[in-house]
């Protein structure tokens, strides 16, 4: 099993030092997604897209997490 909590910790530490680093923000969001923490990942990816609108990785993962969250909301409302 992967150590996603370790990845989260490292990315958070890096972002404290370099808060504008989009790659670290995306890495943190991906680790959160792997842990099932979709809402924080969504917020981080929105921040990444806001700082770098053309970042393909941020847009790609934002689309994935948005789909997961919308499916979850649909199931909550109509299940």
Domains of the chain, earliest start first: 4-78 (1.25.40.10)
Give the model's pLDDT for residue 2: 72
**For range 22-29, the mean pLDDT:** 96
Q: Is the pLDDT of residue 7 over 60?
A: yes
- Asked if 8 contacts 35 with a C-beta cutoff of 8 angstroms, the reply is yes
* pLDDT at residue number 3: 80
Give mean pLDDT, residues 28-33: 96
Q: pLDDT averaged over the chain?
A: 94
State pLDDT tens for residues 41-68. 999 999 999 999 999 999 999 999 999 9
Instruction: Give the long-range contacts of residues 7-10, CB within 8 A, separation 24 or more.
Output: 7/31, 8/32, 8/35
């Amino acid at each position: 099993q992967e150590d996603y909590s370790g990845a989260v910790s490292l990315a958070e530490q890096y972002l404290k030092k370099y808060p504008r680093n989009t790659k670290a923000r995306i890495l943190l969001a991906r680790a959160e997604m792997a842990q099932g923490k979709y809402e924080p990942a969504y917020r981080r990816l929105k921040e990444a897209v806001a700082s770098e609108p053309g970042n393909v990785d941020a847009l790609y993962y934002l689309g994935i997490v948005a789909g997961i969250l919308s499916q979850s909301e649909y199931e909550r409302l109509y299940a």
